[in-house]
Amino acid sequence: MRLGIDRPALRIIPPVVQQRCQDPFQKKGPDTFFRIACVGRLERETGARQAIWTFDLIRHVYADAQLQLVGAGTQRPALHALAIGLECDSHVRFLGAHAEATDVLRDADVVWIPSQANTGRQVALEAMSQGRAVVASDVPCLREVVKDGETGYLAAVGDVVQFARRTAALLRDDDVRQSIGAAAREYVERQFPFDDTVQQWRDVYQSVAASDGPRLLVGRFAYTAEADGVGSEAGVAEAGVLAEAVTGP
């Protein structure tokens, strides 16, 4: 038994990550600037505050870098005030909850997931599926998919210095950044094949529809970063969560 449910009745299905066309990797020239993306609700648990502190450190080395924050939340005024106080507000872009998170991730050189809680896996998978190098907090759900030094980098929760060092290692070496991104994309394609997971969901729905008596189906079907509460694709933030009770005759 688990959570009052017989184990034979439990079926765990991995998250769905839709594979997207990857733009050719572009090495940075001397006159181009780096984009760092951070996607998620602007609340304490997602670590947006730590992202701005880390970005302040990064700008000492990469003065023209830009931090793009996708999402909305109660912490936005405080975060904006922090950026002003650190005199980096002209380089921190608050894109809001309706930005196309997928496009922002695609255009980023590095994606940050500075989670202060056990959250952010869907954003990591979306970024990795696009071949982007990820620096993420070392929390269980991110540790499952970001293999430190192979498919991305992990940093201790709240350690802005380590986050900055990991990021600088990626920004200063195009080859390392490309290699990490390519390994991340390959990992997602191998571990989370889109068609296989969709078929698993189809099988579950068909088995529930065919069964007799009371049935409860609770699941999460999400394939983009918008599942974490941002973005505009199909209202995927909410539509990505399925909770459906199906009662028998």
Q: What confidence tier does 224 reach under pLDDT thresholds 50, 70, 90?
A: very low
CA dist 177 to 12, 41, 152, 181, 240, Å? 33, 26, 9, 6, 30
Model confidence pTM above 0.85:
no
Mean pLDDT of the region 7-28: 60
Q: How confident is the model at residue 206 (pLDDT cuts 50, 70, 90)?
A: confident
Higher pLDDT, 59 or 17: 59
Nearest CA-CA partner of 170 in 95, 61, 21: 61
Task: Write down the pLDDT at residue 30.
Answer: 58
Q: Give the span between the Cα atoms of 57 and 166, in whole angstroms.
A: 12
Q: Go through the domains of the chain in sequence order and give each one's CATH number.
A: 35-191 (3.40.50.2000), 193-246 (no CATH)
Confidence (pLDDT) at 55: 97
Residue 229, pLDDT > 60, answer no
More confidently predicted of 193 and 45: 45
Cα distance between residue 109 and residue 177, in whole Å: 8
End-to-end CA distance of the chain: 26
Higher pLDDT, 198 or 79: 79
Mean pLDDT computed over 93-100: 88
pLDDT recorded at residue 217? 53
Tens digit of each residue's pLDDT (9 = 90 or more) over 112-148? 999 999 999 999 999 999 999 999 999 999 999 999 9
Quick one: which of 235, 45, 40, 223 has its CA closest to 125?
A: 223
Counting residues of the chain whose pLDDT is more than 70, the rounded percentage is 71
- Of 218 and 136, more confident: 136
Say which residues have a Cβ less than 8 Å from residue 183's Cβ, sequence separation at least 6.
150, 151
pLDDT of residue 37: 97
What percent of the chain is predicted at pLDDT more than 90?
59
State the pLDDT confidence band at 15, using cuts at 50, 70 and 90. low
Average pLDDT, the chain: 80
Find the farthest-apart pair of alpha carbons in the chain and give their distance in angstroms, rounded.
68
Q: How many residues does the chain have?
A: 249
Mean pLDDT of all residues in 100-121 = 93
